[in-house]
A = this chain, B = another copy of it.
Amino acid sequence: MSSAVRLVRNHRLTQAVDYAYAAAVDVPVRSLWLAGACPLDTEGRTVAVGDYAGQAHQVMRNLLAVLEGEGAVLTDLVRTTVYVASSRQSDLVAVWEVYREYLGAHDVPSTLLGVSVLGYDDQLVEVEAVAVLKREREDEGAKSGVGAESEAEAG
């Protein structure tokens, strides 16, 4: 509701896709560019070796942690790219289903693709994202951090 992101539908295209066709940002905003979230634990080890769905869960948990660290939430996402190290469409679908669980009604524009290999040992999944947040106060947003949104007033 307080998101700066407006998800865009299009009645001329198929409704048989489970994501928005675009995301529009119309107001002065703060943007957040996330590194591709990886299936790493807090020790930097790849979790769920060989398990596409298991890695997708860890990736989404890590992506949420980055958002939360900046006072952002999933509904601030404006676009994602979902990378799956596989040439089988079924592996892509397995990852996508986990990813979609986390997104829920905020079915942000996305691209899903199979890649030949990813950067970490045993890594099967990576999700990169861009978020756009409503600006709180001019030049004050960066300092206020997590949870500041409810206290801030428009500047």
Interface residues of A (CB under 8 A from B): 6, 8-17, 19-28, 30-36, 38, 40-44, 62, 65-66, 69-70, 78-79, 81, 83, 85-89, 92-93, 96, 109-119, 121, 126, 128, 130, 132, 135, 139, 141-142
- Report whether A96 and B119 are in contact in the complex, using a CB–CB cutoff of 8 Å: yes
Known: A32-B24, A44-B15. A111 touches B86 (CB 8 A): no
- Report whether A40 and B20 are in contact in the complex, using a CB–CB cutoff of 8 Å: no
From B33, B66, B70, B85, give the contact of A13 (CB < 8 A). B66
Q: Which residues of B contact A43 (CB under 8 A)?
A: 14, 16
- Report whether B17 and A26 are in contact in the complex, using a CB–CB cutoff of 8 Å: no
Instruction: Kindly state the separation between the CA atoms of A110 and B27 in the bound complex, as whole angstroms.
Output: 26
- Report whether A12 and B69 are in contact in the complex, using a CB–CB cutoff of 8 Å: yes
Known: A26-B141, A117-B87. A69 touches B21 (CB 8 A): yes
Instruction: Kindly state the separation between the CA atoms of A139 and B43 in the bound complex, as whole angstroms.
Output: 45
- Report whether A113 and B33 are in contact in the complex, using a CB–CB cutoff of 8 Å: no
Q: Which residues of B contact A27 (CB under 8 A)?
A: 139
